[in-house]
Structure 1
Amino acid sequence: MVAFLLIFALMLNLTDCLYIHTVQTFQDLRQQGQTGPAVAFTALVSKDTTVGSKAVVKYDRVMSNVGGAYHPSTGIFTAPYKGIYTISCSLLSDPSNSVHLQITKNGSKVSILYSASSTHPHAGQTLQLLLNKGDKIWIQNVYSKLAKLHDNGSYNLFSGVLITRL
């Protein structure tokens, strides 16, 4: 139990560091004279959630949505500009099942997150992606079975930020 609490505390610290890094990146870009519309979002799953077979995860608790490019009703982020984006996702499954979630770009797999059953392992991915205007990014259940996510509004996260326009 102590090990679980220690790992959990480290994961929360990692999430805090990611948020601070994103804010610092915004500030650095503004200081370098890169102006223009900002794009950034962070959304969470607000409660324990069951995701259908091959279904998109709908992160319903939107913490920020600068530029309005994330759509909580569909769970899809649409890049409003060509540029380099940071995309992040975290996963905590319900202990009753293992879960594989896929970070998807325009229908193609980019990366997979895994959380095992019978424990509370927290998985995370952060990617820097070159996206064209109109590209779509979403997180979906990989399997043909239901995926139960464990959450109280802080473990399962989907976020993105435009680092620079091209």
Structure 2
Amino acid sequence: MENYLVVLLLSVFILLGAFYVNTAVQRTIQIKDEFLKHRNEIKKVREELESTRTALKEVKVELESTRKELKQVHVELESMRKELKQVYVELELTRKELKQLKVELESTRNALKQVKVELESTREQINLLRKEMIEKDKARREEIDQIRADENALREELNEIKKGMNHHDEEFSAFAASLTASKTLGVGELVKFDKVWTNVQKHYDPITGVYTAPKPGVYQFSCTVMTSSNGVLRVFLWKNNAKTVAVYPGQIGYNTGTLNMVLELNKGDKIYIKQGGSEEKSIYSESHSNFSLFSGFLIRSTTNK
């Protein structure tokens, strides 16, 4: 009985041992399978880790490149900031210049407006002056025509005097001369009428402008002068070193004045025309018009030869 129990217990132990061994084997197989599985997973993880390391290395390279690029970008950004700051400065200067230009433009517009007003006023004044000059020119032409008529009458009178003279009086004297061009006369300057029309016995000298009485007698003298435009002119008829009469024309435009004088002279007395103003004055004449002239003649001698 006891042997049976021993055998039974041994059998139980053997069965339990076999079950345990079987279980252990299965567990071992399972562990091996799991180990193989884990080994494969570990290998895969290692491959992934290696790939990750490679990728990480590439990322590090790219990161370094990115850092360099970022640094370059920072440099460029700083340069751009400086340029932008300079642009702001230039923009501010441009704004100030534009503001100044606007002020100057406004000032120019106002000045232009003032100039237009002044131009319009000047045009009106020019029109008035033109009208006035036309009227003055008409009056001057009428006066010139009168001077010419007086000159012609004087010539006719001289011719009549020549015809009516005592042919035995060889000392009869007469002259007429005009100025061929305008001239500025100094203070006290003697006027030299250089174009001789008549010079009986040649007692008038056109070089000096002086007439010398050839004998005692009564003489007639006449002088017509024209002013320059808007000028005045005073001239005296001189006898030796003494003034006699004067003429003083002068207003707007050209003006003429005429003096006439009868003088009793002695032989050798000097008669001439001098500028009588206190400063330089202009006398007007033309070679084809002869506006300014000087003449004289012996009316009658007071003694025999």
- Pair in the same fold by TM > 0.5: yes
Q: Specify which structure has the higher proportion of helix.
A: 2
Moved over 3 A (4+): none
Aligned letter for 1:146? Answer: E
Check conservation: 2:230, 2:250, Cα contact below 8 A: no
- Distance in 2, matches of 1:78 and 1:92, equals 25
Q: How many residues align?
A: 164
Instruction: Check if 1:13 corresponds to 2:149.
Output: yes
Q: 2:277 aligns with which of 143, 146, 153?
A: 143
Q: Say if 2:166 is the partner of 1:43.
A: no
- Could you tell me whether the CA contact under 8 Å between 1:38 and 1:66 is conserved in 2? yes
2:132 corresponding residue in structure 1: none
The residue type paired with residue 223 of structure 2 is: C
Residues 1:125 and 2:259 are matched in the alignment: yes
2-11 or 15-24, which deviates more = 2-11
Quote the residue 1:79 is aligned against: 213
Structure 2 runs not aligned, ≥5 long:
1-134
TM-score for both structures, normalised by structure 2: 0.51
Tell me the TM-score normalised to structure 1 length: 0.90
> Which of 15, 19, 26 matches 2:162?
26
| Corresponding residue number in structure 1 for 2:227 | 93
Aligned to 2:83: none
**Contact persistence 1:11–1:122 (CA under 8 A):** no
For the residues of structure 2 that align with 1:132 and 1:6, how far apart are their CA atoms? 38
Distance 1:121 1:96, change over 3 A: closer
2:231·2:254 contact (CA, 8 Å) conserved in 1?
A: no
- SS of the residue corresponding to residue 267 of structure 2 reads coil
1:129 deviates by 1.1
Q: Residue in 1 aligned with 2:202?
A: 68
Q: Deviations over 1:49-79 (max 9, x none)?
A: 1111111001111122211211122111110
User: Identity of paired residues, percent?
Assistant: 27
TM-aligned CA deviation for residue 12 of structure 1? 1.8
The 2-side partners of 1:133 and 1:35 are apart by 15
Q: CA deviation at 1:38?
A: 2.4
**SS of 2:165's equivalent?**
helix
Contact 2:228–2:254 (CA<8 Å) still a contact in 1? yes
Q: Which has the higher contact order (CA 8 A, sep 6+)?
A: 1
Higher strand share: 1
Q: Is contact 2:191-2:275 (8 Å) kept?
A: yes
RMSD: 1.6
**AA paired with 1:90?**
T
The answer to whether the aligner puts 1:4 opposite 2:143 as a matched pair is: no
